[in-house]
Amino acid sequence: MPEQKIKGTPLSQGISYGRSFLYEAIPFTKRSVEIRKEDVEKELVRFKKALKKTKESLEKLKESVKRRLGDEKAGIIEAHILMLEDPMFVDNIETTIKEGNSAEDAVFLTTMKIKSMFEEIPDPYLRERAADVEDVGSRLYRNLIGAKDLFLLDVREPLIVVAKDLAPSELIAISENNVVGLVLSQGGPTSHTAIIAKSLNLPTVSGIEMSLIPENCFLIVDGTKGEVVVNPSQSTLACARAKIEKLRREQREALSLKDLPAVTLDGLKVELWGNIAHPNEAGDVLSFGGSGIGLFRTEFLFMNRNDPPNEDEQFEAYRKTLSDMSPYPVVIRTMDAGGDKEIPYLNIPKEDNPFLGYRALRIGLTEEHLLLTQIRALLRSSSFGNLYIMFPMVSSIWEVRKAKDLIQKATCQLEKEGINYGTFKVGIMIEIPSAAIMAEELAKEVDFFSLGTNDLTQYALAVDRGNAKVSRWYDHLHPAVLRLVAMTSQATKKQGIELGICGEMASDPLALPFLLGLGLDELSMSPSAIPKIKRLVRKFRADTARRIAQKVLSMREANEIRKYLEEAISQL
Ligand code: PEP
Ligand code: MG
């Protein structure tokens, strides 16, 4: 097949190449395939084969989990293997096949039956095992259907995963393999899958139909241009290699400034911090020259497991991050699940508009025990470093007050129990337009704000951030978004509280003069973006940036603003 170039939407910068791996999500559901009496034996054999294969692959997975994540996590897989050996499970499936169901349907029906039995058990620990039952059942089901399981592949060659859509939790799971790039049909530039791809440095392009990419063919993914090349010619490949080398050189050059402060030519200092999803990433922030963490997305601690991390587990994650970063600040955001971040055991109902639904602080204020546990863990960790606690998705003052009441409740509990805690700051994300509009009032309630421009853009412009089809309408340089940012900045100046930004806008070089001009205290971004932004800050003058910000605020169209900013940057 000759070389073919396909245009898409750039989601995560960089270039890579490897073999395509088509990953399909298979819905776990009853297929209602009728079988004849004489087929029963055949179905039983198919089931036994799948059972053996699933056990073997789980054994492999257990070994790899043990190596990467330790014995405790491997114990979960061991429990799954035992479930496959449990006579109740196996006999039940065989009986259901004998009753005239296909092996797939028998696995589905039995899984659901046993799952609902677990769900009725009063003991919370046993009740939560329902999710394990479903996990094991769906694995067996995938094997019966013949679907591939990337997580279990023995991958030696670099792979480019091609998928319709990939949940953030799936991406984290598959990234353990030798995955070097992603091609997706769905997903906007600030979807959480894109954000995770950036932090994993995985070049990613979306808006590409899966059917256009053959299985196991050679691919180049250009996440900067938003292009995929199928079966590249030798010269195209040579060109891609040269570009990769150039990007590496630029990154090395920018990294040479790592230990210098981010200060403009006329002496304005701005803090450059990193966004992380896991305590292990604190090291990346430091090695890229960051001076703090501006966003720890703690919901990722809740993913790829069957129940929420308990207070001690959370305490350990926060303690480690704070001590690794000390004395630098660490902004830890309370769980922001929902939207495009599914956490099955939280039982968030299927919603027509999940981004407008049961998400983030709304969950914490409804199921207070979840938020209270997290706050207790945070307070306990506060003695180990410089803690900033941040609440996401605030739309009204009452929510901040309720969240602060919970902090108060947690401090009382800890004092009563004789448990120590240190000092900390409390802040909120400004990511809903109502919060930006009410910024002056909200600023009286907290110590700091952080602008979540990913959501602020989606809510101000009514554009789903995860929908590649409408990404043309999603633009954080839209004048309405910039005015909301400016309003927020004015409010913080007036009330004398700190202002940062942790949305993707912080790493957009075009937005830098505007943000510097408004006088933000801190810009937080994917750690690998810090060197590039630091280099730009050090080339700028604050008075020029202020002039640019004022000019931009008088403009009426995003295109006009973009052109003007491009010119300003090119003059550096
Ligand atoms: C944001 O909305 O800009 C933000 C930083 O939070 P998240 O991307 O996790 O929604
Ligand atoms: Mg957000």
Same domain, residue pair 416 and 481: yes
Among candidate residues 80, 192, 476, 478, the one labeled active-site is: 192
Can 502 be counted among the known catalytic residues? yes
Query: Would residue 178 count as lying in a domain?
Result: yes
30, part of any domain: no
On whether both 190 and 220 belong to a single domain, the answer is: yes
List the chain pLDDT tens, one digit each, 572 residues.
789 999 999 999 999 999 999 988 777 888 777 788 888 999 999 999 999 988 988 888 777 667 755 677 677 778 888 989 999 899 999 999 999 999 999 999 999 999 888 888 877 667 767 777 887 898 899 889 887 765 555 556 889 999 988 887 778 777 767 899 999 998 888 888 898 898 888 999 999 999 999 999 999 999 999 999 999 999 999 999 999 999 999 888 888 999 999 999 999 999 999 999 999 999 999 999 999 999 999 999 998 777 899 999 999 999 999 999 999 999 999 999 999 888 888 878 889 999 999 999 999 999 999 999 999 999 999 999 999 999 999 999 999 999 999 999 999 999 999 999 999 999 999 999 999 999 999 999 999 999 999 999 999 999 999 888 898 999 999 999 999 999 999 999 999 999 999 999 999 999 999 999 999 999 999 999 999 999 999 999 999 999 999 999 999 999 999 999 999 999 88
Structure tokens at 564: 């003007």
Q: Do 286 and 384 sit in the same domain of this protein?
A: yes
List CB-based neighbours of ion ligand 2 within 5 Å: 431, 452, 455
Given 144, 173, 191, which residue is the final one in a domain?
Answer: 144
94 and 134 co-located in one domain:
yes
The active-site residue, picked from 80, 476, 478, 502, is 502
- For residue 191 and ligand 1, the question of a CB distance below 6 A is answered with no
Q: Is the CB of 14 under 6 A from ligand 1?
A: no
Residue 258 lies in a domain: no
Residues 314 and 276 in one domain: yes
Find the domain containing 170 and state its range: 4-24+149-235
Task: Determine, yes or no, domain membership for 242.
Answer: no
Q: Are residues 503 and 524 in the same domain?
A: yes
Contact 209, 187 (CB under 8 A): no
Q: What is the DSSP string of 482-524?
A: HHHHHHHHHHHHHHT-EEEE-SGGGG-GGGHHHHHHHT-SEEE
Asked whether residue 505 is domain-assigned, the answer is yes
Closest CA to 396 of 360, 432, 370: 432
Mutate to test the pocket of ligand 1, among 430, 454, 474, 504 (most ligand atoms within 8 A of CB): 454
pTM assigned to the model: 0.81
Instruction: Measure the CA–CA gap between 316 and 318, rounded to whole angstroms.
Output: 6
Strand segments, DSSP code E, in 241-319 are: 271-276, 293-297
d(CA 357, CA 351): 7
561: CATH = 3.20.20.60
Nearest Cα to Cα of residue 515 among 541, 490, 549: 549
CATH code assigned at 171: 3.50.30.10
CA 290 to chain CA centroid, Å, is 20
Instruction: Note whether 483 and 534 are same-domain residues.
Output: yes
Residue 248 lies in a domain: no
Same domain, 309 and 355: yes
Same domain, 446 and 313: yes
- 217 given a catalytic annotation: no
Phi, psi of 215 (to 5 degrees): -70, 140
Residue 528 inside a domain? The answer is yes
Considering the domain architecture, whether residues 409 and 497 belong to the same structural domain is answered as yes
- Check whether residue 421 and residue 524 sit in a common domain: yes
CATH number of the domain that 70 lies in?
A: 1.10.274.10
**Probe target for ligand 1 pocket from 11, 190, 526, with the most ligand atoms within 8 Å of CB:** 190
Decide: 431 in ligand 1 pocket, CB within 6 A.
yes
Q: Are residues 341 and 355 in the same domain?
A: yes
Provide the domain count of the chain: 3
